[in-house]
Amino acid sequence: MNIVIRETEIPLETISQLYPAAIIEYADGTVTPISLEWYDSMANRDVRLRHYAICVHYKEEGKKASVFAYETREKLDEGIAELAEQLDPSME
């Protein structure tokens, strides 16, 4: 089975992790994905939101993770809904 995220087709069996995240930048310039829960409850003025994303990590060692950026939380939620429909067609 393949999934499609932002027009990119990915074989499901190649994925080790798939999750939504807030991509933040700390005051020192460090950029990292964090959980949406952390961002919603713990983010403060020491971090700046760069964008939201769906992150895909692969089983293949050394293969760089894919990060599919979304400008707003609403757009991310739409992307998550599209992904959920692909993974469980009965959700339509």
Whether the per-residue pLDDT at 77 is higher than 90: the answer is: yes
pTM over 0.75: yes
The answer to whether the CB of 53 falls within 8 A of the CB of 36 is: no
Q: How confident is the model at residue 90 (pLDDT cuts 50, 70, 90)?
A: low
CA–chain centroid gap for 72, Å, is 12
Domain ranges of the chain: 2-91
Q: Give me the DSSP letters along 27-73.
A: TTS-EEEE-HHHHHHH--TTEEEEEEEEEEEESSTTPPPEEEEESSH
Q: How many residues does the chain have?
A: 92
Q: How confident is the model at residue 44 (pLDDT cuts 50, 70, 90)?
A: confident
Q: Average of pLDDT values for 82-88?
A: 92
Q: Residue 55 has what pLDDT?
A: 98
The answer to whether the CB of 76 falls within 8 A of the CB of 53 is: yes
